[in-house]
Amino acid sequence: MTLKGFRSAILDFVDDPFYVSESESVRYIPDGLLVLEQGKVKELGDYELLKEQYVGIPIESYPHRLLLPGFIDLHIHFPQTGIIAAYGEQLLEWLEKYIFPTEHKFKDKAYCDRVAPIFIDQLLRNGTTTAVVLGAVFPESVDSLFEECDRRNLRTIVGKVMMDRHAPDFLCDTAESSYYQSRALIEKWHGKNRLLYAVTPRFAPTSTPQQLTYARQLLSEFPDTYLHTHLSENIKEVEWVQQLFPDSQGYLDVYDRFGLVGERSIFAHCVQLTDAEFDRLAQTKAAIAFCPTSNLFLGSGLFNIEQATAKHAPIKLGLATDVGAGTSFSLLQTASEAYKVAQLQQQKFSPFQAMFLATLGGARALKLEDKIGNFDVGKEADFVVLDPRATPVMAFRNEQNNEQMTPITIEELGEQLFSTIVLGDDRTIVATYVMGELVHAQ
């Protein structure tokens, strides 16, 4: 039997709720049936309408739960898993004190092999099925992570950090070695099963012009890889970039001059962008990874959601945990902090916008919306099951009358979804599925 079904309340998105109404963008079925064939979506619809058609297939039921596409984390650091929640510094000091010494451990393949399953377990227990991941400067770190992701059949994007200056000697590569090591990793892993590669200069200050030139060469030779880096996270960082690249017209322009800004580019943070830089990101169809827990934890500032999603110059946007400056692997907690970032600027950020960014929005940012992000027929069946009553306080908050435990209208769903985002964490994740196979359960 190649067919199997999942019965639950089902939510996904067919359009972007930042630009069209919830009724046009949200697809919600209070009693839905998701039918899979060999790990891909065969049909989605109302259970009562489809049940006769699929008599006899195995059906897993999740009553009073909510089934969504798997979450997509647009920016996270594999080598920083063990240094999450390190006290008391802003970005540049934090890197020197905590991060660089920790990342040195990832020169040892055995250590990488030990951390990789811990890292992936944390993603899956939090409902994240796709992530854009920075490895360490050492190729061993990328090999370990790709091996673990391939073993679990995950759609993952990983890159070796390129860093040839302004870091300890024990953590620097060279412009040439970064090119050849990255190229070898691309040839080994990119496009293997569900794995993809991102060319990953850490950030402009830690790459010489020669290394950024090599990054562009890699993108030219392998045009379906990604560019993944940091941009305008911290005021001191922006000032430092201007000192290092005095001829540039700003931080983004540094990357632009080296041909690194395009529709497959992912820029993390973007807290200190100028108006012109927002416009340029929109023009080039680049993506921003919004990292609210990290931006708050390091005191970097408040990301301007409203400007990033302006109708006249929309930018592809996704949510990112940014562990270890980010304080949680949970995209629910990340979305909760994103709401507060919006509140502090008197901006709106609805629960549907949050879950769009964590699913179809993230897929669009990665140009993977033909493969993941919602339950359109033929897409890869990565999904997560949420329990809106996972904790005593959530159960009390989401209590409805005894006859109707599941929201019927979009308005009722929005109320429940918002409280689930704000109060939820890994305990909210009942189950995580990858290509239709159970990979995590409470």
Tens digits of residue pLDDT in 371-418: 999 999 999 999 999 999 999 999 998 875 444 689 999 999 999 999
Question: Could you give the dihedral angle defined by the CA atoms of residues 157, 160, 164 and 168, in that order, rounded to the nearest 10 degrees?
Answer: 110
User: What is residue 400's predicted lDDT score, i.e. its pLDDT?
Assistant: 59
**What does the alpha-carbon distance between residue 145 and residue 136 come to, in Å, rounded to a whole number?**
11
Query: What is the β-pairing status of strands 40-46 and 59-69?
Result: unpaired
Tokens of 398: 């989401």
Q: What average pLDDT score do residues 419-429 get?
A: 97
Q: What average pLDDT score do residues 277-286 get?
A: 98
pLDDT tier at 1, thresholds 50, 70, 90: low
pLDDT digits (tens, 9 = 90+) for 61-87: 999 999 999 999 999 999 999 888 888
Q: What average pLDDT score do residues 168-195 get?
A: 97
pLDDT tier at 340, thresholds 50, 70, 90: very high
pLDDT tier at 211, thresholds 50, 70, 90: very high
Tell whether omega for the bond before 436 is within 30 degrees of 0, i.e. cis.
Answer: no
What are 165-174's contacts with CB under 8 Å, separation 24+? 165/205, 165/206, 165/207, 165/208, 166/205, 166/206, 167/100, 167/202, 167/206, 168/100, 168/101, 168/104, 170/104, 170/107, 171/100, 171/103, 171/104, 171/136, 171/137, 172/137, 173/137, 174/211
Provide the whole-model pTM: 0.97
User: What is residue 280's predicted lDDT score, i.e. its pLDDT?
Assistant: 98
Report which secondary-structure segment, H or E, holds 319: strand 316-319
Residue type, 210: Q
User: What is residue 392's predicted lDDT score, i.e. its pLDDT?
Assistant: 94
User: What is residue 414's predicted lDDT score, i.e. its pLDDT?
Assistant: 95
pLDDT digits (tens, 9 = 90+) for 125-168: 999 999 999 999 999 999 999 999 999 999 999 999 999 999 99
User: What is residue 398's predicted lDDT score, i.e. its pLDDT?
Assistant: 85
Q: What average pLDDT score do residues 94-122 get?
A: 94
pLDDT over threshold 50, residue 187: yes
User: What is residue 228's predicted lDDT score, i.e. its pLDDT?
Assistant: 98
User: What is residue 348's predicted lDDT score, i.e. its pLDDT?
Assistant: 96
pLDDT digits (tens, 9 = 90+) for 256-270: 999 999 999 999 999
Mean pLDDT of the chain: 96
**What does the alpha-carbon distance between residue 433 and residue 128 come to, in Å, rounded to a whole number?**
10
**What does the alpha-carbon distance between residue 367 and residue 336 come to, in Å, rounded to a whole number?**
25
Alpha helices in 222-359 (DSSP H): 235-244, 251-257, 275-284, 292-297, 305-308, 331-344, 351-358
Question: Could you give the dihedral angle defined by the CA atoms of residues 186, 191, 194 and 199, in that order, rounded to the nearest 10 degrees?
Answer: 40
User: What is residue 402's predicted lDDT score, i.e. its pLDDT?
Assistant: 41
For residues 142 and 103, the answer to whether their CB atoms sit within 8 Å is no
**How many angstroms separate the Cα of 377 from the Cα of each of 170, 235, 380, 399, 437?**
49, 45, 9, 34, 17
For residues 269 and 230, the answer to whether their CB atoms sit within 8 Å is yes
The mean-pLDDT minimum among 1-5, 6-10, 112-116, 327-331 falls in: 1-5
pLDDT tier at 209, thresholds 50, 70, 90: very high
User: What is residue 82's predicted lDDT score, i.e. its pLDDT?
Assistant: 87
- Per the DSSP assignment, residues forming a β-bridge with 267 are 229, 288
User: What is residue 383's predicted lDDT score, i.e. its pLDDT?
Assistant: 99
